[in-house]
Amino acid sequence: MAEQNPLPSTPADHGGDLARAMARYGGARDTWLDLSTGINPVPYPLPDLPGHRWTARPDADLLGRAEAAARACWDVPDGLEVVFAGGASALIAALPGELAAGTVEVVTRTYNEHARAFARDGWDVRAVGETTGTAEVCVVVTPNNPDGRQPVARARALAIVDESFADVRVGASGSYGLGRIVLKSFGKFWGLAGLRLGAASAPPDLAEALRMRLGPWAASGPALHIAAAALMDQAWIAATQARIAEDAARLDALMQHPGVERVGGAGLFTTYDVANAGALHTRLAERRIWTRIFPYSDRWIRLGLPGTEADWSRLREALA
């Protein structure tokens, strides 16, 4: 049965809130191992930036190069346009206002930004376990956060497919087609969340409407410059996909304890079912390792990947 208007007034729920961890458990930021996010701990190496990227507005040539790199990297087909914004969150917030309000199905459990954005703009929001194809719009996150599922998108008019974590898997992208908007995040796989860069592929009319809503220079010059290089770096992409797969398997091996079951994940994070997620979360926090638990489950805990051998050793010792 669908759950109507799921959590429309709740605040956005994210990992990475180290200020809260430090306020409760002490320590400076550099004393914490933050495993609460799905951000690559080994980010893309920043290229040298010309000084004018910081002082001048992004020009059409730079935007064109970034769009071309995105089309090539993500195999965006002809007939769809790429829209950049200051993070996928900006696109999630903007999309409902450019569509005629009706009924939207959001496949849950997932992060609540999509439902909040549609509810704010007057939509009838229904949380569903799987799409029925009866709503005007559906939203699926694939692979889903936090359980790694890959739900099927069915809607009467438009499917919004959030692929923020899809780049960690070779060939995982591929949701493009008529009646679909595909969202991408530059912060997850490339590990540069602070750049605030996201992208949407959309039909030309909707792409133009999004650009008008977001305004000129929706993405910064430094972000577009770095993205144009990173999206074309096939050697780094392939090596990073292989490393993430190996590290995800390593994390599973580390979590093989009695009473722990793997729920699922998306490479950069894995969610586990444990007897008492809050107790494990607290135990690790007391050792200044920050993890993610969820208000709707007292058994699920999500861990991101450690980035260095010292980080792996620290986690292993804390779990012993």
Q: Read off the pLDDT of residues 199-213 as tens digits, 9 standing for 90 and up.
A: 999 999 999 999 999
Question: What pLDDT score was predicted for residue 11?
Answer: 52
| pLDDT tens by residue, 155-202 | 999 999 999 999 998 665 667 777 899 999 999 999 999 999 999 999
DSSP string for 145-159: TTT---PPP--SSEE
Confidence check: pLDDT of 246 > 90:
yes
Q: Using a pLDDT cut of 70, give the percent of the chain over it.
A: 93
Q: Which domains does the chain have, with CATH numbers?
A: 10-38+235-319 (3.90.1150.10), 52-232 (3.40.640.10)
DSSP conformation class of 20: H
> What is the average pLDDT across 35-44?
96
The pLDDT tens digits for 276-290 are 999 999 999 999 999
pLDDT in tens, 76-119: 999 999 999 999 999 999 999 999 999 999 999 999 999 999 99
For the CA atoms of the chain, what is the radius of gyration? 20
B/e letters for 204-219, b = 16+ CB within 10 Å, e = fewer, are: eebbebbbebbeeebb
pLDDT classification of 15: cutoffs 50, 70, 90: low
Q: Given this model, what pLDDT does residue 3 score?
A: 42
- Residue 8's pLDDT is 46
Q: Does 4 or 55 have the greater pLDDT score?
A: 55
Please give the share of the chain, as a percent, with pLDDT higher than 90.
90
Q: Report how far residue 13's alpha carbon sits from residue 184's, in angstroms, rounded to the nearest whole number.
A: 19
Of 181, 173, 183, nearest in space to 155 by CA: 181
